[in-house]
Amino acid sequence: MIRYEAKKYFYCYDAKMGKYLKKCGLDYITMAKNRYDDSLFTLWEKTEEFEVAISSYNQ
């Protein structure tokens, strides 16, 4: 069985942020709906490039 460490992944519920990350050349792992409230999210791996892009977005 494959185990995933939650700290290595980022659930993005913000479409604007997701578009920014794509613009930075990053790709999400999957796009899905939250099973509890049907809200759409993208799942991203927390790589060094991801952290740089998120820091830039949050400034």
In the chain, where the domains are located: 6-57
Instruction: Give the residue, 2 or 56, on which the prediction is more confident.
Output: 56
Instruction: List the structure tokens of 40.
Output: 């759409």
**CA-to-CA distance for 10 and 16, rounded, in angstroms?**
15
Return the CA Rg of the chain.
Answer: 12
Q: For residue 18, what pLDDT is reported?
A: 98
Task: Specify the pLDDT at position 14.
Answer: 98
What pTM was estimated for this model as a whole?
0.85
Q: What local confidence, expressed as pLDDT, does residue 19 receive?
A: 98
pLDDT digit string, tens, across residues 2-55: 666 768 999 999 999 999 999 999 999 999 999 999 999 999 999 999 999 999
20 is written with which tokens?
A: 């920014």
Spell out the residues 6+ positions from residue 24 whose beta carbon is closer than 8 angstroms to its own: 49, 53, 56
Q: Which residues contact 14 (CB under 8 A, 6 or more apart)?
A: none
